[in-house]
């Protein structure tokens, strides 16, 4: 695949950390929520091996926040998601698929409950703010909706607890998964959550002050030397191996949450009101005809810039791979694919065209084992 430079502009926003990640050797970008998101540093594979062994600092400012506050904020947040938030607690993070009136997916944010009347939706790559604004205007809800100046730094990797403890103190080791707290470093308070877009453990620091974030970035590298810290970013290989889904890649507004395996975040029996509820009940009754599964392909590389068709021996469509990368762990190309119902048995074999050659692969369950 040829390389094409990205043209920067105000519309593809830089982050408070862009100068720093460029000094640290970022080697490619993607665009996410109208913002630059680093895609690689040394190389995808080198970054991958390092992430699984040490600790990395990520500029994930592109994970923008939609802040919803005010009297009707809990009602509006609940209207957008099929996950029952009626027992949600301040200080916790909730992974919550958002659905439209057809029961189709709009985004899959982490919803942070800051107070009973103040929420941050930490969003994937779609303009949730306009969905919220449209709904609020249509229902005449008393809410404030904005995109605050929050720019997340993620600290990810098996040594992330050690590095973070050096900055924020030993008590950070007790912070539970998908919980957040305000913690102090050099007389400043930082919103720190145990979360992140890898399964190598780690934290996300929701930075509300640009200069404080830049300082923090530099301290993380200064104090992280002994842990072999490097600049990194969400890693395509690691996130597929970990079956972390990506809105726009693995699923989008043409898919419903059952098809994306979000069953445990779909609460149709509770009393809460959300806009796609009746549609999702119908979809559940009828049953789905396709769903996301894993694939393993006997090859050592793949370029993905659109979904690729999987065929059976008689050239019937098995499904479509939507993300894929070569995995040094499985020594195969692994991917996430939307698979048609007749082929849901794991180990079903298929053919795929990669760069005009035919390769074979097998369907598997997620997560990969």
Q: 252 CB contacts (<8 Å, ≥6 apart)? A: 105
Q: What is the CA radius of gyration of the chain?
A: 21
Number of residues that bind a second copy (CB under 8 A): 57
> Closest CB to a second copy among 22 and 209?
22
The closest alpha carbon to 310, from 335, 328, 273, 327, belongs to 335
Note whether 356 binds a second copy by CB under 8 A. no
Q: What is the Cα–Cα distance from 327 to 275, expressed in whole angstroms?
A: 39
- Considering only 17, 20, 29, 161, the residue that binds a second copy (CB under 8 A) is 29
Give least dist CB 18 to a second copy, A.
8
Q: What is the Cα–Cα distance from 106 to 247, expressed in whole angstroms?
A: 8
- Considering only 74, 129, 175, 240, the residue that binds a second copy (CB under 8 A) is 129
Give least dist CB 193 to a second copy, A.
24
Note whether 132 binds a second copy by CB under 8 A. yes
Per CB under 8 A, contacts with a second copy among 103-122 are 106
> Closest CB to a second copy among 130 and 182?
130
Per CB under 8 A, contacts with a second copy among 145-184 are 147
Do 261 and 251 form a contact (C-beta atoms < 8 A)?
Answer: no
Give least dist CB 277 to a second copy, A.
11
> Closest CB to a second copy among 148 and 169?
148
Phi-psi region of 99 (alpha: psi -120 to 50; beta: other; left: phi over 0): beta
Note whether 305 binds a second copy by CB under 8 A. yes
* Strand partners for 180: 193
- Considering only 65, 249, 256, 327, the residue that binds a second copy (CB under 8 A) is 249
> Closest CB to a second copy among 170 and 278?
278
Stretch (H or E) spanning 327: strand 317-327
Q: 87 CB contacts (<8 Å, ≥6 apart)? A: none
* DSSP per position, 53-79: HS-EEEE-TTS-EEEEESTTHHHHHHH
Give least dist CB 96 to a second copy, A.
16
The closest alpha carbon to 55, from 133, 145, 142, 163, belongs to 163
Q: What is the Cα–Cα distance from 172 to 149, expressed in whole angstroms?
A: 25
- Considering only 40, 81, 235, 348, the residue that binds a second copy (CB under 8 A) is 40
- Considering only 158, 248, 328, 342, the residue that binds a second copy (CB under 8 A) is 248
Which residues contact a second copy by CB under 8 A? 1-14, 18, 22, 26-31, 34, 39-40, 100-101, 106, 125-139, 147, 246-249, 253, 275, 303-307, 322-323
């Amino acid at each position: 695949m040829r390389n094409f430079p990205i043209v920067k502009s105000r519309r593809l926003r830089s982050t408070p950390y862009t100068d720093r990640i460029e000094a640290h050797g970022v080697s490619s970008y993607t665009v996410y929520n109208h913002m630059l998101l680093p895609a690689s540093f040394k190389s995808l594979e080198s970054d991958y091996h390092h992430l699984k062994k040490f600790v990395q600092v990520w500029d994930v400012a592109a994970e923008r926040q939609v802040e919803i506050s005010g009297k009707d904020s809990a009602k509006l947040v609940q209207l957008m998601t099929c996950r029952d938030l009626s027992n949600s607690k301040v200080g916790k993070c909730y992974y919550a698929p958002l659905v439209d009136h057809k029961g189709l997916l709009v985004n899959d944010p982490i919803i942070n409950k800051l107070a009973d009347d103040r929420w941050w939706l930490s969003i994937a790559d779609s303009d949730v703010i306009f969905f919220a604004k449209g709904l609020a205007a249509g229902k005449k809800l008393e809410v404030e909706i904005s995109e605050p100046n929050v720019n997340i730094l993620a600290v990810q990797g098996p040594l992330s607890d050690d590095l973070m403890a050096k900055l924020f103190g030993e008590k950070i080791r007790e912070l539970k998964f998908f919980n957040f707290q305000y913690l102090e470093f050099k007389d400043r308070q930082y919103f720190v959550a145990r979360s992140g877009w890898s399964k190598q453990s780690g934290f996300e620091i929701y930075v509300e002050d640009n200069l404080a974030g830049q300082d923090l970035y530099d301290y993380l590298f200064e104090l992280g030397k002994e842990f072999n810290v490097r600049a990194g970013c969400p890693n395509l290989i690691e996130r597929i191996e970990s079956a972390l889904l990506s809105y726009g890649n693995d699923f989008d507004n043409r898919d419903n949450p059952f098809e994306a395996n979000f069953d445990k975040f779909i609460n149709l029996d509770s009393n809460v009101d959300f806009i796609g509820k009746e549609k999702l009940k119908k979809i559940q009754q009828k049953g789905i005809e396709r769903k996301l599964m894993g694939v393993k392909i006997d090859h050592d590389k793949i370029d993905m810039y659109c979904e690729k068709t999987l065929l059976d021996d008689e050239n019937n469509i098995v499904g479509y791979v939507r993300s894929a990368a070569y995995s040094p762990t499985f020594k195969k190309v692994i991917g996430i694919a939307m698979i048609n119902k007749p082929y849901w048995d794991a180990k079903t074999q298929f053919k795929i065209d990669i760069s005009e050659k035919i390769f074979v692969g097998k369907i598997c369950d997620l997560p990969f084992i």
